[in-house]
A and B are shown apart, each in its own frame.
Chain A
């Protein structure tokens, strides 16, 4: 796991009040992590602030998996 991926996964864990090791890469935000649209919106805003990035509409939704989100954010961090 790269440093960037570790930071993103750590942020996920902190946001969801879970242990990082308990978050499966394939977990779906809506079905497995029970993130509704409101919580996903909060998550996106928090991601943008934490990593100083801009996430466009549809790039991160609660239909995505943890893996999808990590890759999207990693891509923006360059």
Chain B
């Protein structure tokens, strides 16, 4: 098995915090989205979300926590889990050989919204001086690097909903290019706030619930919050230190549709190109793939174009290839979604199952993929693709292989 090894998993998501809880609860196949409770969402068309509750932040002091938005806090919790899982003590590593590559879409909106409200109500003295460093997109990368003293090649990827999968893809390249030996890669997103929900609503992509990808009655996605951060290492280094290897990332590509500011190209040709290039970069043929973890945004054009892209690349084999969207259980974590999909795909591979697309009820003849409806399927998966897409026609694809 070639590729870059995944040796640690960190996850903060609506089904659970930590890989054990996350996986145990996901295996029960439930809808983890629920009515929004952190603010009054009654005036919004979409009033449900995948929400993270009971976030343990024991390794962070109150003095640190007040300087950060929730999206940075979740990134720090997921990073700590990931490093512990990988058995890596960064104090023993060369800080210039460790990098942090994280994606997100919105930034720290809860912090920004709160401080803007205070600005208009109380004047400039009412605004926290940390607002400037708490809300911006690269804040989680900065906070993780400060917390662990990381000084190597790092990057924040803002590529709408495909940010975290793209960050992981770039992390793989950075390790391959020998710029770092260890990369913490993934994403974080905290969109369950009044303004963020409003922006997602006015864009026209949100469901009133339930979230039902590939279904003829689909009406968009439900937002979710959380973070997923994996520890990546060169395969040889991981083996030589006896690390547990969840799997390898073997291919990556990204493309743009260049067609519309929100919607993807309806024919999915940009995504088809990204899938083909990912297969090429991993050295796979289409028939080598056992499973696709889909973007499954459940927008009309989104699912249609994803289906067309998969049919274009896989031909007749697309009829028998399982393509599911587990995020239908807990919501679309926007810029963190690709990283969560990587974690769930690796855990699925370990157990020899495929997680389903839930809430599936009515077949759409235009989306006639095997979306693994409603129930876990027992199947050994050796090689999988993960698809993550963003507004404006951003397509990112990652290839993974079981260890």
Contact = CB atoms under 8 A, between A and B. Distances in A.
A39 B130 CA distance: 8
B12 to A, nearest CB: 23
Contacts of B125: 45
Nearest to B65: A17
B325 to A, nearest CB: 42
Contacts of A41: 129
Given A17-B63, A38-B130, 14 more contacts: A16-B63, A17-B61, A17-B62, A38-B129, A38-B132, A38-B133, A39-B67, A39-B129, A41-B129, A42-B128, A42-B129, A42-B130, A45-B125, A45-B129
Contacts of A38: 129-130, 132-133
Interface residues of B, number: 10
B208 to A, nearest CB: 41
A19 B133 CA distance: 27
Interface in A1-55: 16-17, 38-39, 41-42, 45
Interface of A: 16-17, 38-39, 41-42, 45
B11 to A, nearest CB: 28
Interface of B: 61-63, 67, 125, 128-130, 132-133
Nearest to B130: A38
Nearest to B132: A38
Contacts of B130: 38, 42
A77 to B, nearest CB: 20
Nearest to B133: A38
A16 B128 CA distance: 16
